[in-house]
Structure 1
Amino acid sequence: MSLDWRQLTAAAILAAGVATGVQAQELRIGLSTDLNSLDPHYFNLTVNNQIAYTIFNTLIQQDETQQLTPSLAESWRAINETTWEFKLRRGVKFHDGSPFTAADVVFSMARPAKVPNSPSPFTLFTRTASEVKAIDDFTVHFITKVPTPLLPNDLSRVAIMSAKAAKADVAEGMTTEALNHGQGLVGTGPYKFAEWTRGNRLVLVANPDYWGGKPKWQQVIYRPMSNDAARVAALLAGDVDMIENPPPADMKKLRDNPNVKISDTVSNRLIYISLDQSEPTAGIPDADGKNPLKDVRVRKALSMAINRDAITSRIMEGLGTPAGDFLPSPMFGTRKDAKPETYNPDAAKKLLADAGYPNGFSITLGSPNNRYINDAEVAQAVASQWTRIGVKTKVEAVNATVFFKNRDQYKYSAGLVGWAAGTGEMSNPLRSIVATMNRDKGFGAANKTRYSNPKLDAIIEQAITTVDNAKREALLQQSSKMALDDQALIPLHTEVTSWGLRKGFSYKARADQYTLANGVSKD
């Protein structure tokens, strides 16, 4: 078909909506950062995922508190220690009218491992199954090598694509580039792709045949607005109906405004400092070719030099809580006794001296300037506090796209990063950001510290194969303590996520930080 869907005009979209009887409503959302791909299996990143979960469905979905609920799978059960059976929803159609069957599940579970150059691959969620078998059109068996009690949690993160629409002459089917142009971008979700102009806007239109009922909006327009002031101004002017991440400095003004509503909640996103623990490393010019970050005493010193209370109260202005674990309690696997590192610059200086760096060293701290709440300002605060103990720190704050590219090429020795636990429990960050990178196991997909601890890996692996909840939680707690005692990374804070809405609009705040169009309603 020669029609380029990105060129659909607003008039054509409106006509399509009227023709199908969808109510003529438009929702305009101001995003705090732009997505970098429409391929639902390319980059496990919040802004990408929230669009993917609007166009596509998963077998199991998560509610606002990350509890599992049925989606394309109506039910699931373990029929033995290494086999899960999923019964699929009947009568579901893809956007092109073709039926959803088990063949689409098999295709979608195999595809993530075949997507090239993924910065944060979805194999984290798919590698636990050694085989996915279509028993009939509406029954799928997931076969694992060992007991895998968290398989349903993992599958809540994998979008189901149309095997027919995504078919192509390369291993992964339709390529990421083709999907970014709307080719083969066919899901079962409440909204269909209409157009995407990178850096300007993404337009989705209602799927009139959505199995979950009529979508709430005829058309949804997402506009990336990385500038905080511009995003707030657009909300106040009525140019958008909803914005992500209102800046902390404006929260009181917005809460006091009768024409604005704020929805917020504690999120699952940890903001942390990633420290490259390999040699050679970029960004440390005056350590005689050595990498001081390989020494646990240096990593401990850098953590002790950070005043987390000051950062969360002054820079985050209450939109963050100091972190002493990978997730906030009481999420599954967290430790009630986990405390943030105590601020002690004098002890930090002593540790540096003990490690052989009495005069410190120089380092560059990379940071995005438009991805997390006040990210560049937090990085500057950390740099200032490190400099006070003799670690002369320069901040390189760039837009998120450039930052992630540089980070993935190990151009920073230290980087300010965030991780949101997609499954809402402790195994997710442990497998993703501290386990040794292992593509076959799906471990270490976002471990950019190059930290490796085989003993820790073994306990994580034992935890995710332990069926008993209490025993699994104890192993996860042991793993998180081991990683943090070893200063695998430096936790800073957990974000409190907020949305600003015009009067008359409502949104239930989500722990996973996703902005989902079909979750927005009119009062």
Structure 2
Amino acid sequence: MQGFLQFRRRRMPSVAMALFAAAAIGPALAARPAAAQTLRIAMAGETTSADPHNYALGPNTTLSQHIFEALTEIDADLKVAPGLATRWERQDDRTWIFHLREGVRFQNGDSFGAPDVVYSYCRILNNPGEVVQSFSRLVRRIARLEVLDEHTLRLTTKVPEPLLLSDISNLSILPRRLAGEAKPDFNAGESCGVSGPWPTPAQFNDGTAAIGTGPYRLVSYTPGGAIILERNDGYWGTKPDWKTVRLTPVTAAGPRLAGLLAGDQDMIEAPATGDLPRLRQNADFNLANKQTTRLIFIQLDTARSPSPFVQGGDGPNPLQDARVRQALSLAIDRKAIEQRVMDGVATPATQFLPLGMVGTIPDLPVLPYDPAKAKALLAEAGYKDGFSLTFHATNNRYINDARLAQALAQYWNRVGVKVELDTMPSAVFFGRRGKRDFSASMGGWSTDADETMLFFRSWLMSTDRERGLGTSNYGGWSDPKFDDLAGQAMRTMDQPARAELLQQAGRVALEQMPVIPVQFENAVWAFRKDLTYEGRVDQTTNAAEIHPAK
């Protein structure tokens, strides 16, 4: 493990300098009163759009949850709660009745009602700016949407949807006024009977279409720059403490920390793990540490041969062999990574979600580290002398992502796989991944429901655009046995029976290993001592949940 120790030593001087600065800057913190009306948050990632139907990316969700709401919401611990619907009942396995909240107004003063839901779901189906079916895949599972009266909806799915209540928490509601004179009819086909234009992402970015029912309204949005939000004083729910919120993307951990220490930021996301021990000892700051479901994983191209970044894009693709994929997993010492790369702010993976969630396989140990067996499997597959690949990863999206990618590359090199590492900003990475540019890439994903079905449905099932399946299956893996088991689970409303099917599907995926689980992140926030925040499992930052300390 000498390589890891050397890597950390190179990092220490800059960390020490930043924390040394805290001692000099600390007294300046008292200059900002606890009751200040502006909350300044440094985000670890950049938003790509103010359009809530554009891309299901963590920073985008952080922004949209301040402005928009959905029929249901997911609380800080992944439990479904009422949102713009106060209650619901299921008439059969496919039919639901939703009773909508009365007295709610959009930020432009319009009253909220059932036709707004119809318009919003239709707009999701007709959004050419959407990335990788982030939201339309959910709406396409709905067969009919009927307005029974201004505050009652009947929703019928094409097949049983056990996770419907979680799914619709992602579907932000917009005012029907944006349709102009048109009256969208969800049941009139994918165009909803509308021939005119739908709002564009640019109209959300300039604020003209960014109209929701949430606790804040959008004042200004600048791609890559500060986003300004202002409290919606007509909000139907609990009024947030802060009149103004400033969300600023600062993708490098060092500048984020410097902003906090200098008093330019009140809270930062994802401080560097090496800075945490001394931050804990600094009485001017508090930390929130939340165990999350964010899986960090390696996605492999199993569909193409040759593959563009394996063996120089020439010859057979070794990643199509399950023995090679298992070898890459066996080469990784996840426990060592937890301690030496992640400084304890991660949990080594045993499977695709943390133990105890619905569909996880009980009592699985951490995925094994066995480099000798890895070499044997490579030799058995015909790659005794290894092979070459380029490994792509972000360098500003996940906790210690560049360091982690370097560690993974070192492990693979040790078993004979010659790895060239190519890290890049997330804004570049996600666009390229969406085009399936990579052969082996590191990604991250967190669920908004406490069961494995969502990961299986998006990342592992065979891609089927019309059914909204495999929309993030960039590696193109397809396995009939897995698809059958996961497909049965998707149609099973009884949770114990569904859990058994998901466990069987999980065993198939772990045997075939098209996606290699590495670890689950812990989410960490650092903030001024006069604030309180509990953190969220989904790793978003919600200003409405941040309060002045009492």
TM-score category of the 2 structures, normalised to the smaller one? over 0.9
1:28-427 equivalence runs, <5 A: 28-116=40-128, 117-165=130-178, 173-279=198-304, 280-286=306-312, 288-427=314-453
Query: What is the identity, as a one-letter code, of the residue corresponding to 1:145?
Result: K
Q: Does structure 1 conserve the Cα–Cα contact (< 8 Å) formed by 2:331 and 2:370?
A: yes
Whole-angstrom CA distance in 1 between matches of 2:402 and 2:329 = 18
Q: Does structure 1 conserve the Cα–Cα contact (< 8 Å) formed by 2:59 and 2:540?
A: yes
Q: If the length of structure 2 is used for normalisation, what is the TM-score?
A: 0.88
Q: Does structure 1 conserve the Cα–Cα contact (< 8 Å) formed by 2:307 and 2:314?
A: no
SS at match of 1:350: helix
Whole-angstrom CA distance in 2 between matches of 1:373 and 1:466 = 36
Query: What is the identity, as a one-letter code, of the residue corresponding to 2:231?
Result: A
Query: What is the identity, as a one-letter code, of the residue corresponding to 2:163?
Result: L
State the Cα distance separating 1:120 from its structure 2 match: 4.9
Residues 202-226 of structure 1: per-residue CA shift (max 9 Å, x gap): 0010101000032221000011111
Residues 241-300 of structure 1: per-residue CA shift (max 9 Å, x gap): 111011100000111110110011110100000101122321113574211100101111
Whole-angstrom CA distance in 1 between matches of 2:243 and 2:284 = 24
Whole-angstrom CA distance in 1 between matches of 2:366 and 2:127 = 38
Measured at CA, do residues 223 and 288 of structure 1 come closer, stay the same or move farther in structure 2, by a change above 3 Å? closer
Query: What is the identity, as a one-letter code, of the residue corresponding to 2:462?
Result: T
Query: What is the identity, as a one-letter code, of the residue corresponding to 2:243?
Result: Q
Whole-angstrom CA distance in 2 between matches of 1:145 and 1:242 = 44
Measured at CA, do residues 335 and 376 of structure 1 come closer, stay the same or move farther in structure 2, by a change above 3 Å? same
Whole-angstrom CA distance in 1 between matches of 2:238 and 2:295 = 35
| Residue number in structure 2 paired with 1:458 | 484
Query: What is the identity, as a one-letter code, of the residue corresponding to 2:397?
Result: R
Q: Does structure 2 conserve the Cα–Cα contact (< 8 Å) formed by 1:156 and 1:423?
A: no
Whole-angstrom CA distance in 2 between matches of 1:325 and 1:452 = 19
Whole-angstrom CA distance in 2 between matches of 1:155 and 1:136 = 20
Identity of aligned residues (%): 40
Q: Does structure 2 conserve the Cα–Cα contact (< 8 Å) formed by 1:109 and 1:132?
A: no
SS at match of 2:230: strand
Q: Which runs of 5+ in 2 are unaligned?
A: 1-34, 183-193
Whole-angstrom CA distance in 2 between matches of 1:64 and 1:124 = 24
Query: What is the identity, as a one-letter code, of the residue corresponding to 1:179?
Result: F
Whole-angstrom CA distance in 1 between matches of 2:162 and 2:196 = 30
SS at match of 1:197: coil
Whole-angstrom CA distance in 2 between matches of 1:289 and 1:300 = 21
Measured at CA, do residues 506 and 182 of structure 1 come closer, stay the same or move farther in structure 2, by a change above 3 Å? same
Whole-angstrom CA distance in 2 between matches of 1:171 and 1:340 = 54
Q: Does structure 2 conserve the Cα–Cα contact (< 8 Å) formed by 1:29 and 1:222?
A: yes
Whole-angstrom CA distance in 1 between matches of 2:534 and 2:137 = 28
Q: Does structure 2 conserve the Cα–Cα contact (< 8 Å) formed by 1:57 and 1:160?
A: yes
Whole-angstrom CA distance in 2 between matches of 1:347 and 1:170 = 60
Query: What is the identity, as a one-letter code, of the residue corresponding to 2:276?
Result: M
Q: CA RMSD in A?
A: 1.6
State the Cα distance separating 1:228 from its structure 2 match: 0.6
Q: Does structure 2 conserve the Cα–Cα contact (< 8 Å) formed by 1:456 and 1:483?
A: yes
Query: What is the identity, as a one-letter code, of the residue corresponding to 1:187?
Result: G
Query: What is the identity, as a one-letter code, of the residue corresponding to 1:430?
Result: F
SS at match of 1:133: strand
Whole-angstrom CA distance in 2 between matches of 1:311 and 1:100 = 49
1:474 and 2:500 aligned: yes
Q: Which runs of 4+ in 1 moved over 6 A?
A: 168-172
Residues 350-386 of structure 1: per-residue CA shift (max 9 Å, x gap): 1111111111111000001000000011111111111
Query: What is the identity, as a one-letter code, of the residue corresponding to 1:98?
Result: D
State the Cα distance separating 1:53 from its structure 2 match: 1.1
Measured at CA, do residues 129 and 444 of structure 1 come closer, stay the same or move farther in structure 2, by a change above 3 Å? same
SS at match of 1:353: helix
State the Cα distance separating 1:337 from its structure 2 match: 2.2
Greater alpha carbon shift after TM alignment, 168-177 vs 238-247: 168-177
Whole-angstrom CA distance in 2 between matches of 1:335 and 1:162 = 43
State the Cα distance separating 1:410 from its structure 2 match: 2.2
Q: Does structure 2 conserve the Cα–Cα contact (< 8 Å) formed by 1:44 and 1:120?
A: no
Q: Which runs of 5+ in 1 are unaligned?
A: 1-22
Measured at CA, do residues 104 and 332 of structure 1 come closer, stay the same or move farther in structure 2, by a change above 3 Å? same
State the Cα distance separating 1:38 from its structure 2 match: 1.1
SS at match of 1:205: strand
Q: Does structure 2 conserve the Cα–Cα contact (< 8 Å) formed by 1:248 and 1:316?
A: yes
Whole-angstrom CA distance in 2 between matches of 1:86 and 1:200 = 39
Q: If the length of structure 1 is used for normalisation, what is the TM-score?
A: 0.93
State the Cα distance separating 1:92 from its structure 2 match: 0.4
SS at match of 2:159: coil
